[in-house]
Structure 1
Amino acid sequence: MTNSIDVPVPAPRLSRRRLLGASAVAGAGLLGLSGCSSGGTKPRLDYWHLMSGGDGILMGDMVAAVNERSEFDAQQTVLAWGAPYYTKLAMASVGGRAPELAIMHHTRVAGYAPGGLLEPWDTTELERLGIGPSTQPERIWEKGTYEGEVYSVAIDAHPFIMMVNTDIADQAGVATPDGLVEFSSPEEMLEVGRRLAEVTGRTGLSYGFLADGAQMWRFFYTLYRQQGAEMTLNSGEPMQYEMDAAVVALDTLKSMLDGTVTSANASIDSAIAEFASGTSGVLFTGVWKTPTMLDAGIPLAATTIPTMFTEPAAYADSHAFVLPRQSVVDPERRAAAYEFVASMLKDSATWAQAGHIPAYLPVVESEEYQSLPQSSYADATEIINYDPPAYFTGSGSDFQTYFAENVQNALLGRIPAEQGMLGFAERIDALLAAPNPVA
């Protein structure tokens, strides 16, 4: 295989502090080792990811399709989602025995790149293969950069969205011509919810949040950013945020939970069950639930959450390809990693079937993708907002858990919203005051 990539000098050994820091970032877990030779004639490419269920099936299909036409053999290792995965990836990178390629959420790069756990992508080689800033939405491409270098190349964006049962919306008299519902303020949202509830006889809007920091944070951050509010996490400084906007966002969520507009104590599973059974007309959830609802036969329309304040905004994350740190880079395998990523992005219409928005613009613009129901929210890439960067934020981290620990009681009406937010800020300030364990 032709290789146009320079082989880096073996990376220096990480310090004891960085070794301990990698464990601190990822949490508890065991070291996962990538395999050696596949025993075949093709060079082996070890590839780790955390996709399971329907996502995992589609990922496996895509890997198999790439292998059929490639001069390498990509071998996928599927690990448990969340802290176990990120632990194993970090420790494998520290030990110099990481896979040649891995999936990481865009939001986790800030915790891994500073400590040398990832290697930057050669943008010249990516461009040669047709991948670059002109082929991805600006917000997605920029999120993969750290200190001027590209560390993660996204295959998708998966925002928090609104799903609508078009039949129920039509019966309630709140449907737009394309079957959606519209509202431009919290008050209008509540009114739409009440009218939908009159049709279902149960609730109008489904939103699961109990004991689920991710669900709480996704909707909160959407409403917080819709107010134009910023949140900045700088090491050694208190969390910078806008209390007034935070209180408005939390009070808006609390106002829904009256038992009619929205169930007062729903989990994500019960909220999904409500919507799938037709006992609510709207579901607030991630795009990955789109196939579930289509398979259930729900007459479905989906879009970003309507702008209720001054600016359109949607919380999102992205699955992205990263190069874990290698003690010695095998040039043949490194070249295979680039070829593999380019092929996966160009084939991501398959990945879109899982509900995710492809990050590769030629796929988004293709007839194949535009014919999918999932394409109705593709414009979310223009308004997505990722977690504020810090070594402890991102999908699968404890950041959203800390949020839940402090604001759930505010949503349940047990404490004022301001008190919940102050508790969250105090917890984050403690992390910011401590040395970054991977710096």
Structure 2
Amino acid sequence: MSTRVSRRAAVLGSLAAATALSGCGSPAARGLFGVAPPEGQLSYWNMFTGGDGANMVTMQEEYLRSHPDVQLDATVLAWGTPYYTKLTLATSGGAPPDVAAVHLSRLQTLVQADLIQPLNEPLLREHDLAPGRFVPAAVQKSRYDGRLHAVPLDTHPFVLFYNIDVCRRAGLLGSDGRLRPIRGPEQFRSAIAAAARVTGGYGGVVNITKDPSTNWRWFATLYYQLGGRSSPTTAPGSPWTTTSQHGR
């Protein structure tokens, strides 16, 4: 292994966020890269606050109960560009955290900048982190140039909640009292219309948060389910355009 590895971080990513592993000093680095680390010390950077932050603290506490000999230094930094600026500068400067959370959308950029290294898949399997344990789409997104650079941590699915009383009155429940299967856009629109007739208002709503990425995630969900095949693209001097097999 080149001495350059000791100045780089190995980043583990997910569709939304994941962990990053430094090549200079963590216990895991010794196994993955053959680098001798200081014993009992583990630094970890993440950007989780709110409910995500509470869950992460719970995970950290569970880890420490299982590894009482480890001194964990967990740091929460501002989400977004400030976080990645600090992570990049620290890694390039030879002082990265042992573990850091990242978004998979950043993976390609980090690999091309020579800031991360591929993971040792046989070693991951030894520690019950085989790719087969994770959502296939997340694992595929964690690969770059055919090599695994990340272990998925979380994803951002859209979940449908329904009002049982409204759906019963709209005739949308089966004999078991559960929502009947809804297949395809036509059935979905019909179900929403039936619910709207019961409520006298909206048949469904979409959660809106301050995070602007929610709009794009929802757009992409509907776009590809309707048969969209290419990503939205633009050319210099032209408006945004999208193409799909339906011409939508």
TM-score when normalising by structure 2: 0.71
Matched, 1:63 2:60: yes
**Where do residues 21-420 of structure 1 align in structure 2 (5 Å cutoff)?**
43-70=40-67, 71-176=69-174, 177=176, 179-180=178-179, 182-208=181-207, 213-231=212-230, 243-244=243-244, 248=248
Moved over 6 A (4+): none
Q: How far did 1:109 drift?
A: 0.7
Distance 2:232 2:192 in 1: 35
Confirm or deny: 8 A CA contact 1:169 1:179 kept in the other structure: no
**Displacement, 1:93?**
1.9
Q: Is the CA contact (8 Å cut-off) linking 1:93 and 1:118 kept in structure 2? A: no
Q: CA deviation at 1:12?
A: 9.0
Change (3 A) 1:12 1:135: closer
On the 8 A contact 1:50/1:85 being kept in 2, the answer is: yes
Provide the C-alpha distance between the structure 1 equivalents of 2:101 and 2:115, rounded to a whole number of angstroms. Answer: 13
Alpha-carbon distance in 2 for matches of 1:42, 1:12: 16
Pairwise CA distance, 1:146: 1.0
Is the CA contact (8 Å cut-off) linking 1:164 and 1:181 kept in structure 2?
no
Secondary structure of 1:77's counterpart equals strand
Q: Would you say the 8 A contact 1:46–1:75 is kept in 2?
A: yes
Give the total of aligned pairs.
214
Question: 1:118-141: per-residue Cα shift (whole Å, max 9, x none)?
Answer: 232222321221222333333222
How far, CA to CA, are the matches of 2:7 and 2:137 in structure 1? 34
1:42 and 1:127 map into 2 onto residues whose CA distance is: 23
CA drift at 1:209? 5.4
1:242 Cα deviation from its structure 2 partner: 5.5
Identity %: 29
Cα distance 1:148–1:9, how it changes in 2: closer, same or farther (>3 A)? Answer: farther
Secondary structure of 1:63's aligned partner: helix
Q: Deviations over 1:27-78 (max 9, x none)?
A: xxxxxxxxx9xxxx96221111111111111110110111122132222111
Which runs of 5 or more structure 2 residues have no equivalent in the other structure? Answer: 9-24, 26-37
**Higher relative helix content:** 1
CA distance in 1, matches of 2:135, 2:210: 33
Q: Give 1:82 deviation, angstroms.
A: 2.4
Displacement of 1:190 in angstroms is: 3.0
RMSD over aligned CA atoms reads 3.5
Which residue in the other structure is 1:317 paired with? Answer: none
Q: Which has the higher contact order (CA 8 A, sep 6+)?
A: 1
Distance 1:118 1:130 in 2: 22
CA displacement 1:179-223 (0-9 Å, x = unmatched): 335443444333322322233343211125598642322122112
Q: How many Å separate the matches in 1 of 2:152 and 2:169?
A: 40
Q: 8 Å contact 2:232–2:243 — kept in the other structure?
A: no
Please tell me whether the aligned partners of residues 169 and 181 of structure 1 are also in contact (alpha carbons under 8 angstroms): no
2:230–2:243: 8 Å Cα contact kept in structure 1? Answer: no
Q: Contact (CA 8 Å) 2:45, 2:97: kept in 1 or not?
A: yes
Please state how far the C-alpha of 1:102 moved relative to its aligned partner: 0.8
Q: Give the conservation status (yes or no) of the 8 Å contact 1:42–1:73.
A: no
3-state secondary structure, aligned to 1:243: coil
Any idea what SS the aligned residue of 1:159 has? coil
CA deviation vs aligned residue, 1:271-309 (integer Å, no higher than 9, x gap): xxxxxxxxxxxxxxxxxxxxxxxxxxxxxxxxxxxxxxx
Name stretches of at least 5 consecutive residues in structure 1 with no aligned partner.
1-6, 15-35, 249-439
CA offset digits 1:319-353 (Å, max 9, x no partner):
xxxxxxxxxxxxxxxxxxxxxxxxxxxxxxxxxxx
CA contact (8 A) 2:107 2:142 kept: yes
SS at match of 2:162: strand
Query: Which of 160-169 and 58-67 deviates more?
Result: 160-169
